A and B are shown apart, each in its own frame.
Chain A
Amino acid sequence: MKTPLLSVRGLTAHFHTEAGIVKALEDISFSIAAGEVLGLVGETGCGKSVTASCIMRLIPMPPGRIVSGEILFDGRNILALPDDEMRRMRGHDMAMIFQDPMSSLNPVFTTGYQVGEAIVTHEPQISRKTLLGRVLDLFRKVNIADPETSVNRYPHMMSGGMKQRVMIAMALSCGPKLLIADEPTTALDVSIQAQILTLIRRLRREEGSSVLLISHDLGVIASMADRVAVMYAGSIAEISRVKDLFDAPQHPYTKGLLGAIPRLDRDQGRLAVIAGTLPNLMDLPRGCKFRERCAEALPVCAEERPALTEIRHGHEVACHARTRR
């Protein structure tokens, strides 16, 4: 296997708060190959967005701190890069689409200006005319109606879906190798969600970028991703190809998640619920973080934290019940 575009190894990140140390990420490892879409799923607060922020190095430090691990991008450990070099990679080599388009655009600048700014930052010598042409092309590419007028519009004059298109145009402006989409459709209407997902899928095909798609919506992941990583309480529970995960989930948590999805093709009665709640990230139990909610827990689960182990080609799971039999 050729070297992946992005490889996260043993990433551990803490947040120091007044109440204590929040262990947001613990020993996270995954990789994304060139042109691949990796889905990252998990419930709110499990560390999906923190993972994305670590890759972009957008974690405010303090209170955040990357305790250990490395993030290799194109073979270079970006956690060790000087700030200025990292800054030049942001928006150029890796770009991000955020969850809430309503608040992600600066209200006092026109959308055209904000997209253009992303280009100028990385190509300072560009002429005004070329720049406007590039921005208009980007607006067309993401299907914004009437680009000539839209570039002069302020964010508040646009709908949420249009704003998210502007955000996508901004992210694509310098042709990044990696696109991180952090819940790109969560804040949008269902009908608009489908349009945005179709757009991201089309652009991915045209641009050939790798995508890290973060979502709590398994449906979105199923329709978009090549592979999927399931996160739970700051750790990765399971990684596999999308088809394998949906056909044969291994981790009890993944099974629980899949069981909680309503399906139209069969009569389920009541939806399955995962009993219990997330553990407190400030006071994590010894052993497996999912043990208290798990029906298949073994004695060893209370003692030892399970490591991510490959049980089949390309299918890794962190569960004693799967790896110790």
Chain B
Amino acid sequence: MGRFILRRLAMLIPVLVGVSLVAFLILHLAPGDPARLMAGIDASQEDVEMLRHKFGLDRPLPAQYAMFVRGLFTGELMSLRYESPAMEVILPRLKNTLVLACASIVVAVVLGVSAGVLSATHRRSWVDYAATVLSLFGISMPVFWWGLLLMLLFSVKLMWLPSGGMGTIRHIILPALVLGTASTGIIARMTRSSMLDVLRQDYITTATAKGLTRQLVVNRHALRNALIPTVTVVGLQFGQLLAGAVLTETVFTWPGIGRLLVSSILARDLPVVQATLVIVALFFVFVNLAVDILYAILDPRIRYHG
């Protein structure tokens, strides 16, 4: 297991090289001149050229890429927009987004797995139909609209929860719920189908024939097996939450990495955009590693060989 983890960590290197190269190239292919944007509409051509030179934007691409990578490692990579180190801009917002994504995934796993299990054990009952309808509703609901609806109800009408910003636990409830809604639906559907599959297995009959209660058969014998495919989905969803929090963050003015990314793209703050993409990719790889480790914990048949 230790060797497996080390090997997976070593695989980070090519992944990160690839991500940083792609991010770097795409942004340089995109139209728009960062120097012109920074200098402002009225600036003279000389001012623009001066800025261009100051930030090294006039150097050849390979040199710029090398500068970017060096900057990432030394922490000297500067944001064009804020004129402070890019990491100082990114890290606090990354933390905010991680907090939000973790809260959402907890909501999604708790609600999704429970709904999926109930659906499967009460197949073709009203519980199952209700859970199915709600799941599809959750999956298809546009985040901005759903967010606004909840905000209207809980913040404006009932005045129970704040409509935006962050700070207290009350601030996170609505955004976490909204961001986790689609994942809840997907996890519920996945859990339902894998649970139905597991409940048909012979070892479930064996467990029943032993005299176990239905509750133990479901929660002990079936759930653990049914969770194996669900874990894959949870891992993928977590990656989605990290990258896809933009809309939720915008609706609830949550100062996270999604909003930073979008505003940095609009401002052509290339170093911040590139560094953000690399960091998000890094987290994605870590989440996948965590999923693989969880597999081995859930299913003893899976053993990784270094």
Q: Does B300 contact A (CB under 8 A)?
A: yes
Q: Are A91 and B202 in contact (CB under 8 A)?
A: no
Interface SS, B side? helix
Interface bin, chain B? 10 to 19
- How far does the Cβ of A257 sit from chain B's closest Cβ, in whole Å? 27
Instruction: Write out the residue numbers on chain B whose beta carbons fall within 8 Å of the beta carbon of A106.
Output: 203, 206-207, 221, 225
A58/B205 contact (C-beta < 8 A), A106-B221, A108-B298, A156-B300 known: yes
Q: Are B209 and A58 in contact (CB under 8 A)?
A: yes
Sample of 20 further A-B pairs with CB below 8 A, known A98-B202, A118-B210, A154-B301: A58-B205, A58-B209, A87-B213, A89-B211, A90-B208, A90-B209, A90-B211, A95-B209, A98-B206, A100-B202, A103-B202, A104-B202, A104-B205, A106-B203, A108-B224, A108-B298, A109-B221, A117-B212, A118-B211, A156-B301
A108/B202 contact (C-beta < 8 A), A117-B212, A118-B210 known: no
Instruction: Write out the residue numbers on chain B whose beta carbons fall within 8 Å of the beta carbon of A170.
Output: 206, 210
A108/B210 contact (C-beta < 8 A), A103-B201, A154-B300 known: no
Instruction: Write out the residue numbers on chain A whose beta carbons fall within 8 Å of the beta carbon of B197.
Output: none
In the complex, what residue of chain A is closest to B201 when comparing beta carbons?
Answer: A103
Most buried by A among B203, B211, B212, B224: B211
- How far does the Cβ of A122 sit from chain B's closest Cβ, in whole Å? 6
Q: B274-306: which have CB < 8 Å to A?
A: 298-301
Instruction: Write out the residue numbers on chain B whose beta carbons fall within 8 Å of the beta carbon of A90.
Output: 208-211
The 5 listed contacts between A and B (C-beta, < 8 Å) are A98-B209, A107-B300, A117-B210, A121-B210, A156-B300
Q: B197-250: which have CB < 8 Å to A?
A: 201-203, 205-213, 221, 224-225
In the complex, what residue of chain B is closest to A117 when comparing beta carbons?
Answer: B210
Q: Are B206 and A105 in contact (CB under 8 A)?
A: yes
Q: Are A104 and B203 in contact (CB under 8 A)?
A: yes
Q: A35-93: which have CB < 8 Å to B?
A: 56, 58, 87-92
Separation of A263 and B298 alpha carbons in the complex (Å)? 50
Q: Does A221 contact B (CB under 8 A)?
A: no
Interface string of A13-27 (1 = CB under 8 A from B): 000000000000000
A/B pair count, beta carbons within 8 Å: 66
A56/B209 contact (C-beta < 8 A), A106-B225, A107-B299, A108-B225 known: yes
Q: Are B299 and A108 in contact (CB under 8 A)?
A: yes
Most buried by A among B207, B224, B225: B207
Q: Are A108 and B211 in contact (CB under 8 A)?
A: no
- How far does the Cβ of A165 sit from chain B's closest Cβ, in whole Å? 14
Instruction: Write out the residue numbers on chain A whose beta carbons fall within 8 Å of the beta carbon of B206.
Output: 98, 104-106, 167, 170
Separation of A154 and B299 alpha carbons in the complex (Å)? 10
Question: Which residues does B use to contact A, with CB under 8 Å?
Answer: 201-203, 205-213, 221, 224-225, 298-301
Q: Are B299 and A87 in contact (CB under 8 A)?
A: no
Most buried by B among A58, A88, A91, A95: A91
Question: Which residues does A use to contact B, with CB under 8 Å?
Answer: 56, 58, 87-92, 95-96, 98, 100, 103-110, 117-118, 121-122, 154, 156, 167, 170
Q: Pick the contact of A107 from B203, B205, B213 — CB < 8 Å? A: B203
Closest 9 CB pairs of A and B: A91-B211, A103-B202, A91-B210, A90-B211, A106-B203, A118-B210, A154-B300, A104-B202, A96-B209
Separation of A88 and B221 alpha carbons in the complex (Å)? 18
Q: Pick the contact of A108 from B205, B209, B213, B300 — CB < 8 Å? A: B300
Q: Are B211 and A92 in contact (CB under 8 A)?
A: yes
Q: Pick the contact of A87 from B205, B211, B300, B301 — CB < 8 Å? A: B211
Instruction: Write out the residue numbers on chain B whose beta carbons fall within 8 Å of the beta carbon of A88.
Output: 211
Separation of A108 and B301 alpha carbons in the complex (Å)? 8
Separation of A98 and B103 alpha carbons in the complex (Å)? 45
- How far does the Cβ of A253 sit from chain B's closest Cβ, in whole Å? 29
Instruction: Write out the residue numbers on chain B whose beta carbons fall within 8 Å of the beta carbon of A107.
Output: 203, 225, 299-301
Separation of A109 and B301 alpha carbons in the complex (Å)? 10
Most buried by A among B202, B206, B208: B206
Separation of A131 and B39 alpha carbons in the complex (Å)? 79
Instruction: Write out the residue numbers on chain B whose beta carbons fall within 8 Å of the beta carbon of A89.
Output: 211
Separation of A117 and B211 alpha carbons in the complex (Å)? 10
- How far does the Cβ of A114 sit from chain B's closest Cβ, in whole Å? 8
Separation of A89 and B201 alpha carbons in the complex (Å)? 22
Q: Are A98 and B211 in contact (CB under 8 A)?
A: no
Separation of A188 and B189 alpha carbons in the complex (Å)? 37
Separation of A179 and B221 alpha carbons in the complex (Å)? 23
In the complex, what residue of chain B is closest to A100 when comparing beta carbons?
Answer: B202
- How far does the Cβ of A285 sit from chain B's closest Cβ, in whole Å? 32
In the complex, what residue of chain B is closest to A87 when comparing beta carbons?
Answer: B211
- How far does the Cβ of B225 sit from chain A's closest Cβ, in whole Å? 6
Separation of A68 and B289 alpha carbons in the complex (Å)? 56
Separation of A88 and B225 alpha carbons in the complex (Å)? 25
- How far does the Cβ of B239 sit from chain A's closest Cβ, in whole Å? 26
Q: Are A98 and B205 in contact (CB under 8 A)?
A: yes
